[in-house]
Amino acid sequence: GAVVSQHPSWVICKSGTSVKIECRSLDFQATTMFWYRQFPKQSLMLMATSNEGSKATYEQGVEKDKFLINHASLTLSTLTVTSAHPEDSSFYICSARREGVLTGELFFGEGSRLTVL
């Protein structure tokens, strides 16, 4: 199966700092990647759709200036949490779909657990 790698797996930062999370598709090209957020024992909430070479599409209620998404290549998307605060602490998971496939399964990264002190 396709492999999606996320880095870092966990990060602890001080309030007010910015944190960058990387999502890479290792053995396939992904025109579209998705960023989700998951609180403990809850579902995955779609934050944004990351499109290679263009601006991300954010879901309602997600601040685009706070959660900066960049999809510079077909294998890499990054999520930067700017000026992080304790309420941003969460599990962030990226996922990708194979290039050229509009529907179909998503391949998920291992997730990044962010703790903001």
Nearer to other proteins, 49 or 82 (CB): 49
Site membership for other proteins, residue 77 (CB under 8 A): no
CA-CA distance, 46 to 38, in Å (whole number)?
9
Site membership for other proteins, residue 93 (CB under 8 A): yes
Site membership for other proteins, residue 46 (CB under 8 A): yes
> Which residues neighbour 97 within 8 Å (Cβ) at sequence distance 6 or greater?
30, 31, 32, 33, 34, 104, 105, 106, 107
* Size of the residue set binding other proteins (CB under 8 A): 25
Site membership for other proteins, residue 54 (CB under 8 A): no
**Can you tell me which of 21, 34, 71, 84 binds other proteins, judged by CB under 8 A?**
34
Fill in the DSSP letter of residue 59. P
